[in-house]
Structure 1
Amino acid sequence: MKRFIAFLLSLTLVYSAVSCSGNSSSTLKNISGTAVTDEVPAKIKLENHMTEKERSRVSSGELTVFDHMQDSQKKSSVPDDGVYLELWSEDDWIADIKEYFKDHPEELEGTTIEEFIEKNRSGFNEIHDIFINGRCFEGYRFEPFLGYDGGELRLREPSPYFCCSDGNGGYYYVDEDNNRFSEEEIQEKYDSFYAEERYLTFADFEEFKPYLKKQIERVVRIFASDMDEETIRERIEYEYNDNIAVWEAVIAGNYKTLPVGTAEKFYEEIESSSAATWEIDRRKVEEIAPYVKEYNIYDEQLDTNFVVHVTLPPDFDPQKTYPAYVLTDGVWRFNNSADLRKAMEEGKASEVIIVSIGYDYSIDGTNDEYRIKYFCDRCEDFLTFITDDLMPYLGEKYSIDYGSSTLFGHSLGGTFAHYAVFNSDKYENQPFRNYIIGSPAFWSPGFLPYTKGDEFRHEYGYFDRNDSLDKNLFICGGADEDPVYQEYYGENDSTLEGIQHLMDRLKEYGVTTAESKIYPNSEHYQFIPEMLVEVLEMYYPPQ
């Protein structure tokens, strides 16, 4: 959907949800009344099962994730040295509308293209798209227009409601107090708000600035529940400075122009670039970059190249032995390495080696097609790669204490972490003592076909093969996440029901090393950064 048409039809912003954190202050909640074991086993050694081909294709070096992301933006030919505008004539605008409705006639809803154009002609802005320093500009529903000289400013009042993607093709809406509404519930509110045209008037640009900053803060706080307060404030200031720079460039006329079609090409290339999907907080990651080594490790069974980031602790000594804190879904979770390392710097936790497992930059690790492949359909091969190839190989490079190392997975990765612990007995190599099972999506359409009935509800027969479990489990979720994916549950457990039933089964099995926490004020992913630091401090307290 073209950007302008989408605005006219929805009159709102659409923000996509990805994976991140919350700010709960609750204490650990142990549903089963069990306790984490502090028994330390004998030093564990692993045998490396990598093939000759796999060893020959291993490469390592400095962090390159920024290079890949920059490459994906350079392809659009948008320069990175100031403010650039793609300007449209009214004829360009009309041609774009006609092209759009030619493919989507059903969205005219009983009117003609000519009537639609005439009704919305007043909304035409010569500035079709804006870029600042090579980045797509986010105007927070207030974008400048040509001819504005910094004097009196009259703008249409923005809607108080925001449209958010649930990450599964559906949408929900929130107001400024973060109250949530369905598409049906919001329609009446929209009809009421837009029953009359509302405008805001400012004496000049200086008077507009405080209002703009307030709106930016409002939007950032609604959609940045995954950030701590310091990061939120930095994000607000960053976005505000971008907005002021763009407005001032238009007022002064010191912007540069781009050919018609540049923005569309930019968005297509960004969308097709897997590197741009990596969730990176540039400031945080740049701070730890000197302590990160990037490995490219090929697995022959999966015919896949994995990008693995190893973040060393603050006072790393190659002569010492460290546990590994291993995070799947590296496309998101590598971003958490900075906070984990900071906890060590501040003395809140003992030192560990942080390992995040991602896929080659040519693979979109956020796409569930790939996550289903590795976490579900090929979970046995993926577990074999981690157990018999990756962890032994890293043990050759660093002295790793496998007897107290941890593996984490979330959502589909949570179903994999569950699979990993209850199939660990099938391997001679034992690289992990602790497992974090985050929001396991046992109900997922991508997971259920793989499970072959009720295998996962019987922990894959682990307790038929073993009398006890010698692993520590931390099983967690967000208190508000169940409604988000309700349409997928059917007769299956929701996420929180699945967690509770798993804890019930473990109690029946006599497991005394499983602990559970449900994080308040969090949906499916917001709690993750807080939880990862909390568990780091729990499993590896300062010495």
Structure 2
Amino acid sequence: MPGTKQFTIGSGQENHWVYRIYVSWPQGEPPADGFPVIYVLDANSVIGTMIEAVRLQSGKQRGSGPSMAVVGIGYETDKAFSTERFTDYSLPMPVEELPPYSRGGEWPRQGGADAFLRFIEERLKPLIARMFPVNVREQAIFGHSLGGLFALHALFTRTDAFQTYIAGSPSIDWYKRLILDEERLWRTSLGNDKKLNARLLVTAGEMERDHPTRINDNAKELVERLKPHMDSGLHVEYREFEGENHISVLPVLISRAVRFFKEGLE
């Protein structure tokens, strides 16, 4: 794909992992303030879909909106999903409070979300800013499932890291006690006349309504709790995609995520 490259970078964290980074930036001159950037989790599975969605929704087509750069964060594997994500995207929930691990055996180490967020903020973002002009006031993060949980964690604990947060089918139920505590503390902080510049899109597939972890209900309830805070500068939406399940929802979610980010830029 034109203007696209990939490379590896060490985590610089206690896990010593190596990430595979995918970068795609628009052709032509950058805006005066630099390119908007969307950071994409689970890039091994969705980076091609995201890059193509951005390419098709950008440019000179009517209603396409401004161009943006894409930075995908993946792992050193050719599989769609790496087990390392269970550490990087999760909160420090004791494994005895989690359901049986769906792949059998023991759960991977839990609670790496803070370290992973430090990696993004302290190592990856400065590197990307050296590669091409970046608008630090126009950045988004996209995550699905456990990645959606991580997007919520980033919003509640480091709100200024991004301006747009996309949490697709977030895994709230597994980590409900901890993520609700983070949410409550964050909402309390909004009572101190704090003015935000944050947009949040929470989504689910229609066929996930029957999922035992109540993905849709938890997502809708979260949005309803956050709506009263829209006067604080928070824009929040919930979308449910007809006829889609936990995995088939990804292409339509990505398309809507690109539009949602662009709407905040126009």
Counterpart of 1:258? none
Please point out which of 238, 246, 262 is paired with 1:524: 246
Report the alpha carbon displacement of residue 466 of structure 1 after superposing the two structures with TM.
4.0
Residue 535 of structure 1 deviates from its aligned partner by 3.1
Equivalent position of 2:256 in the other structure: 534
Equivalent residue in structure 2 for 1:513, among 225, 235, 252: 235
C-alpha deviations, 1:96-116, integer Å up to 9, x for none? xxxxxxxxxxxxxxxxxxxxx
Q: Contact (CA 8 Å) 2:22, 2:72: kept in 1 or not?
A: yes
Matched, 1:307 2:37: no
1:420 aligns with 2:154: yes
| Corresponding residue to 2:81 among 360, 366, 376 | 366
| Identity rate, percent | 21
Say if 1:355 and 1:502 are closer, same or farther in 2 by CA, change over 3 A.
Answer: same
- How far the C-alpha of 1:339 sits from its partner, in A, is 2.8
The alignment covers a number of residue pairs equal to 235
Does the CA contact (< 8 Å) of 2:59 and 2:66 recur in 1? no
Q: Which amino acid aligns with 2:17?
A: T
Q: How does 1:116-515 map to 2 (within 5 A)?
A: 288=1, 290-301=2-13, 302-315=15-28, 317=30, 321-336=34-49, 337-345=51-59, 347=61, 348-361=64-77, 364=79, 366-367=81-82, 369-376=83-90, 377-425=111-159, 430-444=160-174, 448=175, 454-458=177-181, 459=183, 461-467=185-191, 468=194, 469-483=196-210, 485-486=211-212, 489=213, 494-510=214-230, 512-515=234-237
Extract unaligned runs of 5+ from structure 1: 1-287
**Cα distance in 1, alignment partners of residues 217 and 57 from structure 2:** 32
Q: CA deviation at 1:526?
A: 2.1
Residue type matched to 2:186 in 1?
Y
Cα separation, 1, equivalents of 2:114 and 2:121: 10
Contact 2:39 2:141 (8 Å CA) reproduced: yes
Q: Which has the higher contact order (CA 8 A, sep 6+)?
A: 1
Residue pair 2:169, 2:215 contacting (<8 A) in 1 also: yes
Q: Quick one: distance in 2 between partners of 1:518 and 1:403?
A: 28
After superposition, give the CA deviation of every residue in 1:77-103 in whole Å (9 maximum; x if it has no partner): xxxxxxxxxxxxxxxxxxxxxxxxxxx
Q: Distance in 1 between matches of 2:80 and 2:36?
A: 26
Q: CA deviation at 1:320?
A: 6.4
1:415-435 per-residue CA deviation (whole Å, 9 max, x = no partner) reads 11110111115xxxx441100
Higher strand share: 2
Check 1:466–1:318 CA distance in 2 against 1; reply closer, same or farther (3 A cut): closer
> Is 2:156–2:186's contact at 8 Å kept on the other side of the alignment?
yes
- 8 A Cα contact 1:406 1:433, kept in partner: yes
1:293 to partner: Cα distance: 1.6
CA shift at 1:529, angstroms?
Answer: 2.0
User: Does the 8 Å CA contact 1:340/1:532 hold for their aligned counterparts?
Assistant: no
Deviations 1:230-277 (A, max 9, x none): xxxxxxxxxxxxxxxxxxxxxxxxxxxxxxxxxxxxxxxxxxxxxxxx
Determine the structure 1 residue equivalent to 2:102.
none
Q: Is the partner of 1:526 in helix, strand or coil? A: coil
Code of the residue aligned with 1:382 in structure 2: it is F
CA distance in 1, matches of 2:120, 2:170: 19
Distance 1:359 1:307, change over 3 A: same
Partner of 1:85: none
In 2: Cα distance, 1:294 partner to 1:532 partner? 20
Match of 1:17 in 2: none
Contact kept? 1:314, 1:341, Cα under 8 Å: no
Q: 1: distance between equivalents of 2:129 and 2:243?
A: 39
CA distance in 2, matches of 1:316, 1:460: 43
CA drift at 1:405: 1.2
Indicate the larger mover: 398-407 or 521-530.
Answer: 521-530
User: What displacement does 1:508 show?
Assistant: 4.1
1:540 alignment partner, SS class: helix
The alignment's TM-score, normalised by the length of structure 1, stands at: 0.40
C-alpha distance in 2 between matches for 1:538 and 1:329: 19
CA distance in 2, matches of 1:465, 1:421: 13
Note closer, same or farther for the CA distance 1:508–1:538 as it changes in structure 2 (3 Å cut): closer
Q: Separation in 1 of the partners of 2:137 and 2:31?
A: 18
Q: Tell me, yes or no, if the aligned pair for 2:4 and 2:25 is still in contact at 8 Å.
A: yes
Which amino acid is 1:412 matched to? L
TM-score, normalising length: structure 2: 0.79
- How far the C-alpha of 1:482 sits from its partner, in A, is 2.8
Distance 1:365 1:390 in 2: 21
Following superposition, the deviation at residue 329 of structure 1 comes to: 0.2
**Contact persistence 2:53–2:258 (CA under 8 A):** no
Taking the aligned partners of 1:533 and 1:356, their CA distance within structure 2 comes to 16
- Say if 2:201 and 2:260, in contact at 8 Å, map to a contact too: no
Shift in alpha-carbon separation, 1:431–1:456, aligned structure 2, 3 A: closer
What is the rounded CA distance, in whole Å, between the counterparts of 2:27 and 2:141 in structure 1? 21
Deviation at 1:470, TM superposition (A): 2.9
Question: Does the CA-based 8 Å contact 1:328-1:356 persist in structure 2?
Answer: yes
Does the 8 Å CA contact 1:314/1:351 hold for their aligned counterparts? no
